[in-house]
Chains A and B, each alone.
Chain A
Amino acid sequence: MKEAHHKADEKTYKFGMVIDLDKCTGCGACMVACMAENNLPFRKDNSDRLRSNLWMRVYKISNGRSFPDLDISFIPRPCQHCEGHGHHAATPCVSVCPATATDYSHETGIVSQVYTRCFGCRYCMAACPYHVRVFNWWDPTWPKGMSKYLNPDVSVRMRGVVEKCSFCYHRYQRAKNKAYAEERRELHEDEYQTACTQACPAGAITFGDLKNPEHKVYKLKKSPYAFRLLEKLGTNPKIYYVSTRDWVRKAGDVYLGKEGKDVTHA
């Protein structure tokens, strides 16, 4: 699936995140910032998480122990922008989309989703073990006047299509636009940051080019406390997490059912 999407002379990036779970307070600012930035719809009753439309979802996880030994941690989970490697050369969702509505950009390492191409078969959702993909079960609507705050840089989705976190790709487009206007091609680290990164009051999210030694993420991901979700599956995700708590790191792996009774959804 590795198509030459980029020209050899074009600067390429591998954007990713390092999320410090010791700092994350589960406040939810990332979720709201994401919703506001990306024109996510909302409904009168959003209490059903199984149908709720969240690109960034903060999981509240617990170590499953009893009072007073219970411990809780938060795991913000944007799209993992899996690269795949080795035996699984392609992103799980990209390879299965029948209509090429999602692809992996080798320029940025971002997994895209084109809503006008997607026809809603939801195969990609079945393929994603992180549940980052959400379906528009309803026609999105805004109460009167509310659509005024919609961001013109992100398309509003229609019913019946799958959507997910795009690493605020439009901000990359914006940054490049600015760079081009200034007749340069390379972006500085701070020129392109996602909405959640920017909003996080704890500064728990760091975003940047994972292969650029100048970028903060490059060093952070090498922390001995860093891990990735479902590392063993070989999805090669671009979100790294850092936690000094052992059980949290353990919870990041495939660790299912009864065997994983220590870790539950709190």
Chain B
Amino acid sequence: MSTTEEKEQAVAENEQAKGGDEQAAEVAPVKPGTWRFLIPIAAFALGFMSHFSLGWVILPPILYAEKQQPIDFSHKLHVDEVGDCEGCHYFREDGSFSGIPELENCAECHEEAMGEDPEEAKLITEYIEPGKEIPWLIYARQPQCVFFSHAAHVKMGEMDCAICHGPIGDSDHVRPYQYNRLTKYSRDIWGWNIAGLSKNGWDYLKQADNSGEIKIEHAARMKMDDCAECHMEKRGTHDACFVCHK
């Protein structure tokens, strides 16, 4: 018998002795048994497993909601047609980056239908004809406190677009846009790994597209730490706040 058990027994006996005590009646004598120690362990295990799976499996999908892009756009097709990325994603004269093209760009070619694709028909009837901008959902949109210079990264840093955006130019379809229900930001910012882990900073998400084919589509994370990590690596400094913040 261990010391603890001795004490437990002593307590139990003590309680029994005070039979007059109103509460003592509720306390049943406890007999030591070999299985006894399993009770807390089992309870612990149950608690652990249930919440462990809650955190890893159940909550993550609940945290995110999904939306479809307004038009199923094929980057691959357009890259083939246009020849390069700069036709649509270009630097403006003031050094700012155009980002997602405005309707104007699309209308340059799609004023009239070029093919039979229903998605193209949608573009023309729903957006180009009424002159309404396409409400694209931006996977890489950063919070408003962030300043990001494409010029600094692409022109000066000579970084490839795919490092952040993944080989999106090879995609045939747009993937669904997932966003955090609480923050409303794209899932791409936190990364698709719920733990926010990323291999070497830039692991790519593998996801099945509509054709069922497994494709590498997108870079994983775009949080501040990721920026800082790369800046440290490339520039040897985390930089001052007012480099990436505004």
Contacts and interface: CB of A to CB of B under 8 A. Distances in A.
Query: Do chains A and B interact in one complex?
Result: yes
A241 interface: no
A244 interface: no
Given A180-B152, A181-B95, A108 B145 contact: no
B95 A5 contact: no
Interface residues of B, number: 24
B212 interface: no
A106 interface: yes
Contacts of B156: 180, 183, 185
Interface string A161-177: 00000100110011011
Nearest to A107: B240
A182 B151 CA distance: 9
A178 interface: yes
Contacts of B52: none
A6 B198 CA distance: 27
A105 interface: yes
Given A155-B145, A170-B147, A114 B241 contact: yes
Interface string B122-149: 0000000000000000000001110101
Interface residues of A, number: 38
Chain B contact residues, majority secondary structure? loop
B240 to A, nearest CB: 4
Interface string A85-115: 0000000000000001111111110101011
Contacts of A115: 145
A116 B145 contact: yes
Contacts of A126: none
24 contacts: A5-B239, A6-B237, A7-B237, A103-B242, A108-B242, A110-B240, A110-B242, A114-B241, A116-B143, A152-B144, A153-B147, A153-B246, A154-B246, A155-B145, A170-B246, A173-B147, A173-B246, A176-B95, A177-B151, A178-B151, A180-B95, A180-B156, A181-B151, A185-B156
